[in-house]
Amino acid sequence: MDTCLFCKIVRGEIPAHTVYEDDATLAFLDIHPVNPGHTLVVPKRHSFNLLDIDPADWAAVAESTRHVSKLVHDVLAADGINLQMNNREHAGQDVDHPHVHIIPRYRGDGLPHWRGKSYQPGEAEEIIAKLRAAHA
């Protein structure tokens, strides 16, 4: 994709701090880190997000994410790791190329966790029936 920001980073047309690279994936520092070492893992082949990525590309991203998470955790002496992937605009996706955020976490770093809601009576059963029917 000519105009895609992360395709341009993959092609080397825009500079980035590369953390890790293999045939199918690239991992580089996020330009606005939540914590230092915040890394993005992307497939080299363009798609939009988790909803249209080729399964083989996703498998490669998943394995690179595991590898780089351990690297970031161990080398930066993190106390934990969060993974986040925003898929589509209303989930917070700004760049339309799949990317997994690897965020090193530190004791007392103050980042809030999202809050859980509660199901209304019957709501979980309704949802599970829809999801299971789609798999039948």
Give the interface segment with ligand 5GP, choosing from 30-38, 51-59, 60-68, 118-126 (CB under 6 A). 30-38
Class of residue 130 by CB neighbours under 10 A (exposed 0-12, middle 13-18, buried 19+): exposed
Encoding tokens for residue 82? 């969060």
What are the residues whose beta carbons fall under 8 Å from the beta carbon of 19, sequence distance 6 or more? 27, 28, 29, 39, 68, 71, 72
Separation CA 84–CA 78 (nearest Å): 17
Indicate whether 7 belongs to the interface with ligand 5GP (CB under 6 A). Answer: no
Binding mask 91-110 for Zn ion (x = CB under 5 A): ------x-------------
Q: Is 99 a catalytic residue?
A: yes
Indicate whether 46 belongs to the interface with Zn ion (CB under 5 A). Answer: yes
Binding site for ligand 5GP (CB under 6 A): 5, 14, 16, 28-32, 86, 92-95
Binding site for Zn ion (CB under 5 A): 1, 4, 6-7, 46, 97
